Structure 1
Amino acid sequence: MYSARLLLSTILLAAPLAVQAAARPLSPINLHHTSWTAKDGAPPSIIAIAQTPDRWLWLASFNGLYRFDGVRFERFQPPGEQKPGNDIWGMRVLENGALWIGYRFGGASVWHQGRLRNFGTADGFPVGSVVDFEQDWRGTVWASTSLGLRAFDGSRWTAPEMSHTGQCMLLSDPDKTLWARCESGTFALPKGGKAFVPSHDGLGFGRMAMAGDGTVWAMGGQRGELAALSGPGKAGPVPVWPRAREAGGTMLFERDGRHAWVTRADGVLRFGPGEGASIFGAVHGLSGSMPNTVFQDAEGNVWVGTENGIDRFRPAALQGVALPQIRWDAPAIAAGENGALWVGGTEVRNPGHEAFAALPPEDSASAVSVVYRQGGDVWTGGLNGLWHYHEGKRKPFPCRITLSRGRSTLSRATAKARSGSPRAAQAWRG
């Protein structure tokens, strides 16, 4: 009896023991993902990411300024007497390659051409928190603080004649208009202009991002709005994109012009061709539950900074897919015709994430342990026997097992099916 059971399980199915195996969850983002946390040396609470022309990746955190080369994290300690502060609140690399750093409790620094320079009240810089930097059409550097905007003339910082106060997010568009989205409203300093003028009432404080076509989009704010401030996007309706989280969420438009990222309170999502616009969060391996910033480097990698570390997303030569729940250790697959793929007893004519996600789960009546393609015909075997697919029709194929002298022998019909010829069937034995 024991030998019979062993032969039946081995010859009839030629597959692993039947077990229930849940399919691996489908990654919501169709890119290779790597994360770094404290155990890898990553700083906590990364709120800004930038890249200087020398390809260093700079990480601004509440615990200071770090550099990252893709392998090692290094707390930045420049030569000379001046040192950067801790508790960074804003950071940006401007057009000339200078790295500007703002601090939560006042003051700023700039790292350029191997030299660090600090600014404080003696330089006309306010004590308020610094959230952002940008340049205008003249090359003047602007800093946004909790006490309002400040402009740097090369030696001192001065306050512009503006009626509004409070912190702002800054962005310069392709026409060299400098946009300031502030707590008291949205303002623009056009090329050739000498002062900011009010624009787009009712948006409130929030972030901005520039799309590949040059459109500057305002998002987030108190209501999670999305509005085009300048560029071609102003002429059309607002796209039906996923909205960034209110009061702090941001977007990133990839340089491929086809994909964009949105930060939410529970993760990030990427939308565009091949993506389902679903949240990628801590359950999928994100380093933290709250994404603070998203950035694309010169090599095309997308980086996300969280409260626990940093994540990288990049294209991969091989991409994982989720297959339906199966009864075996691994799904039975075989290449089909014209790029199709057989998964168990189902032919997927256009393999892709959505097609695989739509496959039904297996049950005892449809479980398949082996798939074999011979020319235009396909054979499948499983708990419900041997099946033959020919010209779009599926038929059961009769087979039986006999036990003789302690050795199993497949029937002539089954042997013929295995070999494809009657002569080979006569010679084949299990």
Structure 2
Amino acid sequence: MLLSGLCRHRRHVYHFFCFLLCTVFFNTAAASAAKHIPSLDNYFKETLNTRSGLPHNTINAITQTPDGYMWFGTWEGVARYNGREFRIFDRNPQTGLPDVGVRTFHLDKHNVLWIGGARGGLVKVQDGQWQAFPPFGELINRLFMDNQDRLWVATEGQGLYMQDATGKRTHFTLDDGLPSLQIHSLQQDANGLLWVGTANGLVYLDAQLQIQPVAADEFNGVPIFALELNHQAALLVGTERGLYLAQPSQSKPLTLLDNVPVSAILQENSDILWIGTIDRGLLRLHNGITESLDMRQGLPNNRILALLKDKEGNLWVGTNGGIFRLRDAPFNTMTTEVGLAGNYTRALLSHSNGCMYVGSSRGLTRICNGAFSIIDLTAVSVGQSVLSLAEGPDQTVLVGTYADGLIELQYDQIRRHYDTGNGLPANEVRAILPLGNGQMWVGTSNGVSLIKDDGILSLGVADGLPSSFVVSLFQTPDQRIFIGTGNGVAVYENEQLRTLNIAAYDDAHYAFGMTYDAPVNILWITTDRGLMAYHLASNDIQIIGRAQGMPFDKIFELVQDQQGSFWISSNRGILRLNRSHALALLAGKRSSLSVELYGESDGMISSQANGGSAKAGALHHDGSVWFATSMGVTRVQPERLQQFAEIAPPVVIEKVHVDGQALPLGSPVNLIAGSNRLEISYAGLGFVMSGRIQYRTKLVGFDRDWVARGTAITAEYTNLPPGEYRFLVSASYPDGEWSKQEAVYTFTLLPHLWQRWWFKFAIILLLTTLSIIAVRWRMSSLRHTEQRLRKLVAEQTTELQLLARQDALTGLANRRAFDEELQHEYQRAQRNNTTLCLALIDVDHFKRVNDQLSHAVGDEVLKRLAEVLKQQCRTVDMLARWGGEEFVVLLPDTSLQDASEVCERLRHKVEKLNFTDLAADLHITISIGLTTNNKLELPQLLVSADKALYNAKKLGRNRLALADNTR
């Protein structure tokens, strides 16, 4: 920025072309040549507030540190966010803050985070260490580290401070030329001038640290709330009266926004400028176009205090009502707010003219090149409730309605209309199938009709249709017509109807949609029991249902994208599965599928997709996949998911606990001998799809290879042998690359005295010496001494063996003993082809017992539980303590039903236990995960049981849950 007051210092003048480029940037005429920028409506909006874990809803400052964490400054402390949860730092010895109120952040060029706030508190955070400086005694509004490593501190009422690297402070006040002691903003330009925005105008400090005034009237006598350098290093000035761009060589600045109180500025790139206002919400300027978001569009509050674009492209907005985030989610949903006729959408048509037609309960919408047009059907349809769509000959649009029959449109004009008055069996039209010969099949709620030039042929239950309620129609390349109904599928061939017995496959009834897969000559049918594959050549049917990996029964529409994936709609979200995996499963080369479920956290306003009419999903000409939902039409661009996957989120280790005690995260640590349970929590710091981040871990010294953890954020190890270990963890988005740099935690588990080599050597040496002395002392006592020594060795060996195989607290077998028995019984079960069951038991809410009643009470509870479990288990079963509050039961030669009865008996017995002698309101329950060796290798048994246990807890605890392989 160069104003007339600054022009007197010619060595600081910018080249004139900066102004020209800035002017071009904001010129509307450039909009047509600029690259396409998505509308604000195309972003997924999300709000985080105190209900999400924030300590306060006013967000004064936002930054992202190089490790990937998001930091938020509030009046109740600093909140650090990992994409799943907040960690709060308030006034305590660790932070050194004199007050919890935090007003500003500054991340300097050395990646040091500076924090300023109430009572003049100033701290810096570097490599996880907090260092406090003497407070300034006044609220700090802004911090800025200049190019000479001098820290500038703007206060609310004491003017401006400069603190050098030694900690020496220089104070600037009214006497030095400041127009006000209330400083709002700081910025340094490319020439090294420090600009200071005050409550009464704008000034700058020259190279000699002399305060110089600015001549422009726009910047005098007015609060200057925000200063920012644009992409050409020119100065943007946000004031109470508007937003300005300083013109190089001219005294009058360029007005970008007039009469708008600007509180925050973010120059995203050469095309986009974000502006936060004091009372008018969020604005975006791009190519001369101004867009706005306020509380009417979901902004939690119209006062914007901070703006930040993170490393993945998410925009974070700090408001008085919480954090508002705009992110490029996988799915984008369109509703009546952007032009749809109605939000309850049912049918989609990707037309050959490049437009998408959307049928809803309140009318028909055409979307062409982002423009929305509502097509008027009132001439023949009172309610305009659309159920089905199809493209007819000559690019006509066929519209099936809920109560007004079938409408044929050409160039948006009604060409023909069919209803019960001219031959349709019902006015409720749920499926339309135009044929190449000009004929047309129409599926209604009262049968199916074939419209021909010479009339209408209607077929119903009496003609062989399994149900009169028709929901889908499809013609295969061999000219067969498949008719999906509410009670099965009929095939029309050679003017005859025959029925497919889909009820034989898990009692399926509804056939909601059909999609032809040409390379394999398969007709995929979506049903209320999963996905069916009808082999057209052999007429064979196979099903992919819950037993094969589908998360639920009812699915509506299948769309195959251009990347080789199936997208399937349902009442509970949109599924994605790999087509090649589905074919491999049909061929017997896979036993199950891995399915991804997308929902409201991925950009859908409602995860409830609609089915029951055709077609409820479509592949558009641009490769996007569209689905009708109960709240608008949603679309996903599959190729963009790969772009998300290419982002490898950084990963950090957040917490380490050994036997419930927290350990430091810094240098390698030594764990005391006998440390039993190690828990390591970690987080992938990605914010595009935080809940979908996948993890893998490897404990070097224990694991031979990487262990897939899925989305689990904790790894647990029990009964590790003594030794040196390195724990590694990496993260990725689904189908993406793993983090290039793993997070590492190094530790050493020290051995017991009796596990040290020198102790064993000393014992041997002692025994040998005693033997020699005994021989020399008296030959006659040799036999007695030998017996005594053998007895001593046997006792010590027995004691060591007992310690190594028995849990000290409960007296049960420990994990080592259990592992040996598990391996033995698994091999025996494999040889004899018998069923081996394994149950993993966890005490519900046991942490509350330790925290609220003491560890002594917790230990007594565990001992009593162990005794009860031991009494209730059968003699053939093996009960062991798995670690902490977890137990494990091995049930050899036991069917799943018998094992379930044993587990339920254990659960009921524990539920009835009386612990009132320990605490008046103490009530203990357990959750159980049960699995079998069905289709599982030995290493997978415990993983399967653990997943079942997790499901039992997820379903409410105090229950038995069976593993997926048992179904």
> Structure 2-normalised TM-score?
0.36
Query: What residue number does 1:181 align with?
Result: 197
- Is the Cα contact below 8 Å between 1:89 and 1:103 reproduced in 2? yes
Give the structure with higher Rg (CA): 2
SS at match of 2:311: coil
1:43 to 1:272, Cα distance in 2 relative to 1, 3 A: farther
Query: What residue number does 2:351 align with?
Result: 336
- Is the Cα contact below 8 Å between 2:62 and 2:105 reproduced in 1? yes
The alignment status of 1:140 with 2:150, answered yes or no, reads: yes
AA paired with 1:149? L
Kindly state the Cα deviation for residue 421 of structure 1 after the two structures are TM-superposed.
8.0
Residue number among 34, 42, 45 corresponding to 1:33 in the alignment: 45
Kindly state the Cα deviation for residue 360 of structure 1 after the two structures are TM-superposed.
6.8
Q: Distance in 1 between matches of 2:211 and 2:278?
A: 31
The alignment status of 1:49 with 2:79, answered yes or no, reads: no
Q: Distance in 2 between matches of 1:260 and 1:84?
A: 31
Query: What residue number does 2:335 align with?
Result: 322
Kindly state the Cα deviation for residue 63 of structure 1 after the two structures are TM-superposed.
0.8
Q: Distance in 2 between matches of 1:209 and 1:423?
A: 71
**1:180-204 deviation digits (Å, cap 9, x = unpaired):** 11234312235x5543322244423
The alignment status of 1:388 with 2:408, answered yes or no, reads: yes
| Pairing 1:235-254 to 2, within 5 Å after superposition | 237-239=254-256, 241=257, 244-245=260-261, 249-254=263-268
Kindly state the Cα deviation for residue 56 of structure 1 after the two structures are TM-superposed.
1.6
Residue number among 358, 367, 382 corresponding to 2:384 in the alignment: 367
AA paired with 2:143? F
Residue number among 434, 441, 459 corresponding to 1:429 in the alignment: 459
Kindly state the Cα deviation for residue 147 of structure 1 after the two structures are TM-superposed.
0.9
Relative contact order (alpha carbons < 8 A, sep ≥ 6): 1 or 2 greater?
1
1:132 to 1:257, Cα distance in 2 relative to 1, 3 A: same
AA paired with 1:253? Q
- Is the Cα contact below 8 Å between 2:277 and 2:302 reproduced in 1? no
SS at match of 2:374: coil
- Is the Cα contact below 8 Å between 1:91 and 1:133 reproduced in 2? yes
Q: Distance in 2 between matches of 1:51 and 1:328?
A: 37
| Pairing 1:79-228 to 2, within 5 Å after superposition | 83-85=96-98, 86-120=100-134, 126-145=136-155, 146-154=157-165, 155-160=167-172, 162-164=176-178, 165-168=180-183, 169-190=185-206, 192-202=207-217, 203=219, 204-206=222-224, 207-221=226-240, 224-228=241-245
Kindly state the Cα deviation for residue 47 of structure 1 after the two structures are TM-superposed.
0.8
Q: Distance in 2 between matches of 1:215 and 1:361?
A: 51
Kindly state the Cα deviation for residue 66 of structure 1 after the two structures are TM-superposed.
1.9
Query: What residue number does 1:76 align with?
Result: 89
Aligned residues: CA RMSD: 4.0
Q: Distance in 2 between matches of 1:131 and 1:294?
A: 15
> Structure 1-normalised TM-score?
0.75
SS at match of 1:320: strand
Q: Distance in 1 between matches of 2:418 and 2:75?
A: 71
SS at match of 1:389: strand
1:231 to 1:349, Cα distance in 2 relative to 1, 3 A: farther
Query: What residue number does 1:379 align with?
Result: 398
1:417 to 1:215, Cα distance in 2 relative to 1, 3 A: farther
Q: Distance in 2 between matches of 1:35 and 1:232?
A: 43
**1:195-230 deviation digits (Å, cap 9, x = unpaired):** 332224442322123333333211132xx2222236
1:264 to 1:116, Cα distance in 2 relative to 1, 3 A: same
The alignment status of 1:260 with 2:274, answered yes or no, reads: yes
- Is the Cα contact below 8 Å between 1:243 and 1:262 reproduced in 2? no
Kindly state the Cα deviation for residue 41 of structure 1 after the two structures are TM-superposed.
0.8
The alignment status of 1:66 with 2:79, answered yes or no, reads: yes
Kindly state the Cα deviation for residue 367 of structure 1 after the two structures are TM-superposed.
1.3
Query: What residue number does 2:440 align with?
Result: 418
Residue number among 323, 329, 348 corresponding to 1:310 in the alignment: 323
Q: Distance in 1 between matches of 2:286 and 2:65?
A: 28
Q: Distance in 1 between matches of 2:427 and 2:59?
A: 67
Kindly state the Cα deviation for residue 149 of structure 1 after the two structures are TM-superposed.
1.1
- Is the Cα contact below 8 Å between 1:90 and 1:102 reproduced in 2? yes
Q: Distance in 1 between matches of 2:452 and 2:272?
A: 56
1:103 to 1:378, Cα distance in 2 relative to 1, 3 A: closer
1:403 to 1:379, Cα distance in 2 relative to 1, 3 A: closer
Q: Distance in 2 between matches of 1:232 and 1:73?
A: 48
1:237 to 1:185, Cα distance in 2 relative to 1, 3 A: closer
1:399 to 1:234, Cα distance in 2 relative to 1, 3 A: farther
1:424 to 1:398, Cα distance in 2 relative to 1, 3 A: closer
Kindly state the Cα deviation for residue 174 of structure 1 after the two structures are TM-superposed.
3.6
- Is the Cα contact below 8 Å between 1:134 and 1:141 reproduced in 2? yes
- Is the Cα contact below 8 Å between 1:215 and 1:234 reproduced in 2? no
Residue number among 304, 311, 315 corresponding to 1:298 in the alignment: 311
Kindly state the Cα deviation for residue 379 of structure 1 after the two structures are TM-superposed.
1.4
- Is the Cα contact below 8 Å between 1:91 and 1:131 reproduced in 2? no
Identity %: 21
Larger fraction in helix = 2
Stretches of structure 2 that go unaligned for 5 or more consecutive residues are 1-38, 429-433, 442-449, 461-967
SS at match of 1:105: helix
Q: Distance in 2 between matches of 1:252 and 1:132?
A: 16
SS at match of 1:39: helix
Count of matched residue pairs: 385
SS at match of 1:147: coil
Q: Distance in 1 between matches of 2:349 and 2:396?
A: 12
SS at match of 1:359: strand
